[in-house]
Amino acid sequence: MKILMPLPQGDFDPSEVAMSWSILRDAGHEIIFATPAGQIAAADPIMLSGIGLDFWSRIPILRHLKLIGLLLRAKPWARRAYVHLQDDANFRVPQSYADLRAADFAGLILPGGHAQGMKLYLESKPLQDLVVEFFEADKPVGAICHGVLLAARSISPHTGLSVLHGRRTTALTWQQERTAWRLNRYAGRFWDPDYYRTYREGADEPEGFWSVEAEVKRLLAKPEDFLDVPRDDAHHFAKTSGIVFDSLDNAKPAWIVRDRNYVSARWPGDVHTFAKTFLQLLATPDN
């Protein structure tokens, strides 16, 4: 099956893109990529290298010395997958957003990322219209992290509502976004304190108003349709600590929400289970 994965021109999360691609490819599917103008995309370089996340990173002689950078950069398995992704023929010759039609694909994957290059992807009207096509055709859609924000912003012309209105979802939570933001702001990249905040609040807006979680909630039928890990979950610490990642053989740290032909996840720590759940949607698209 052909699966579409649109990307921004730059700054996408390497873990969410490369591991989703790897798992779907290994299951026999062809992943087609697209960018705003059909030019090859590039991942967030800071997430790949970790350089620039420590407070001493602006000092040339210390630039490559990493501490927080080692903690927050993409995991080795994700960096390896990204190396292989760069050799993929479809990745190297992406389509352009304007040429995409939902009818040409069996499903859609919306990855995330937090750096400023994500905005052209998150705010693209042609891409939002395409997301609506997929939802209204009842085709499988998977969204992770900021990819859920793109889905939530996709407004159906028939209803005037988000395609996620009436559905349950998760996404990058405010707790996760705030934790990374504060760590970066006070112990890391202090000269760029909003690196982990794609959108920031105005002077008269409460903190977190433009977080992923808050904006997605405002576009749902009711805030309760945004699902986070319940406190009584048997693996609550693993799912919420921010230091435990899932794997192909261990879904316990992951938090995935499935609603009909739509599956969502929060962050790179969910990506293996996210991609495997999307494979289930492809196998049983009407469930």
State percent of the chain over pLDDT 70: 99
Average pLDDT over residues 92-96: 97
Q: How far apart are CA 6 and CA 12, in angstroms?
A: 10
Q: What is the pLDDT of residues 228-266, one digit of tens each?
A: 999 999 999 999 999 999 999 999 999 999 999 999 999
pTM (2 d.p.): 0.96
The band of 287, judged by pLDDT with boundaries at 50, 70 and 90, is low
Q: What is the pLDDT of residues 73-84, one digit of tens each?
A: 999 999 999 999
Question: What's residue 284's pLDDT?
Answer: 84
Q: How far apart are CA 228 and CA 266, in angstroms?
A: 9
Checking if the pLDDT of 286 tops 80, the result is no
Pairing mode, strands 95-96 and 141-144: unpaired
Average pLDDT over residues 127-134: 98
Distance of CA 63 to the CA centre of its chain: 28
Task: Name the nearest CA neighbour of 6 among 77, 122, 97.
Answer: 97
Q: What is the pLDDT of residues 203-238, one digit of tens each?
A: 999 999 999 999 999 999 999 999 999 999 999 999
Length of the chain (residues): 287
Q: What DSSP state is assigned to residue 249?
A: T
Among left, alpha and beta (phi > 0; psi -120 to 50; other), residue 236 is: alpha
Q: How far apart are CA 172 and CA 130, in angstroms?
A: 22
Cβ count near 75 (within 10 Å): 16
Distances (CA, A) of 270 to 116, 183, 246, 252: 22, 21, 6, 9
As beta bridge partners, residue 34 has: 6, 95
